């Protein structure tokens, strides 16, 4: 079992603000890092999968970076909108296909 930690647990931001949150994972035996967006009453949806140290991925106003040597990933949201309100989950893999998820960061964007 991998210990994947996310911080903060929850976050409130004003519409238009930019924000970021952190996922920490064991750097030993690292293989892949996933970010998922999870809206209440829906299924988690994949945002990014990253494997290489220094990877940066972007989808619209959302981007993510990966540091495998120190075991962390940041998710950034630029110009937050109310529709960005969701729980953002990260998950790490050691190469055995199973993912270990963190408990998520619950983002609320206030109009």
Partner 1 sequence: GAGVSQSPRYKVTKRGQDVALRCDPISGHVSLYWYRQALGQGPEFLTYFNYEAQQDKSGLPNDRFSAERPEGSISTLTIQRTEQRDSAMYRCASSLGASGGIYEQYFGPGTRLTVT
Distances (CA, A) of 87 to 6, 10, 56, 63, 95: 11, 8, 21, 15, 25
**Which one among 46, 54, 61, 81 touches partner 1, defined by CB under 8 A?**
46
Q: Does 95 bind partner 1 (CB under 8 A)?
A: yes
Identity of the residue, 13 or 32, whose beta carbon is nearer to partner 1 in the bound complex = 32
Sheet with 5-7, strands from edge to edge, namely 5-7, 19-24, 72-77, 62-67, 56-59
User: Which of 69, 73, 3, 1 lies closest to 36, judged by CA?
Assistant: 73
Q: Report how far residue 57's alpha carbon sits from residue 54's, in angstroms, rounded to the nearest whole number.
A: 10
**Which one among 102, 107, 108, 111 touches partner 1, defined by CB under 8 A?**
102
Q: Does 43 bind partner 1 (CB under 8 A)?
A: yes
Q: Does 104 bind partner 1 (CB under 8 A)?
A: yes
**Which one among 32, 74, 76, 85 touches partner 1, defined by CB under 8 A?**
32
List contacts with partner 1 (CB under 8 A): 31-32, 34, 36, 42-46, 49, 51, 89, 91, 93-104
């Amino acid at each position: 079992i991998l210990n994947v930690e996310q911080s903060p647990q929850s976050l409130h931001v004003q519409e238009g603000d930019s924000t970021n949150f952190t996922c920490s994972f064991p750097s030993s035996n690292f293989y892949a890092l996933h970010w998922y967006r999870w809206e209440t009453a829906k299924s988690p949806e994949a945002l990014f999968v990253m494997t290489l140290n220094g990877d940066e991925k972007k989808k619209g106003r959302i981007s993510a970076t990966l540091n495998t040597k120190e075991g962390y990933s940041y998710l950034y949201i630029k110009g937050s909108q109310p529709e960005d309100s969701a729980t953002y989950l990260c998950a790490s893999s050691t190469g055995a296909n199973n993912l270990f998820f963190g408990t998520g960061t619950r983002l609320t964007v206030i109009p």
